[in-house]
Amino acid sequence: MSLRIPEAAPVSQIAPERRGPAVARFCHGCQQLYPLLRARHVGRAIYGRDLVTSTCSYEGMAFGHEATWWEEAVEVLPAVAAPAAAA
């Protein structure tokens, strides 16, 4: 069983009105999500493909703020209903 986390996606792929709180870090190398508390790209991802055939090229690197190979992943909020037509 994998950890259950809210549906999450890289912040750049989510419309601003659907961005919830940051829940993970998304690695552009292996396209997987890693816990925010983990300072380095090590160990198992919390979300993503189960079978990774090759080691990510960023494996072992720190999630530094200056690094460009990762971005925050945010919880995806439900789509906001279109506003009803003004009465």
For residues 33 and 8, the answer to whether their CB atoms sit within 8 Å is yes
Beta strand 19-27 with 70-76 is: antiparallel
Structure tokens at 19: 């961005």
Residues 14-43 that bind Zn ion (CB under 5 A): 27, 29-30
- 52 or 77, CB closer to Zn ion? 52
- Residue 9 identity (one-letter amino acid): A
Give yes or no for residue 74 binding Zn ion (CB under 5 A): no
- 5 or 67, CB closer to Zn ion? 67
List interacting residues with Zn ion (CB under 5 A). Answer: 27, 29-30, 56, 58
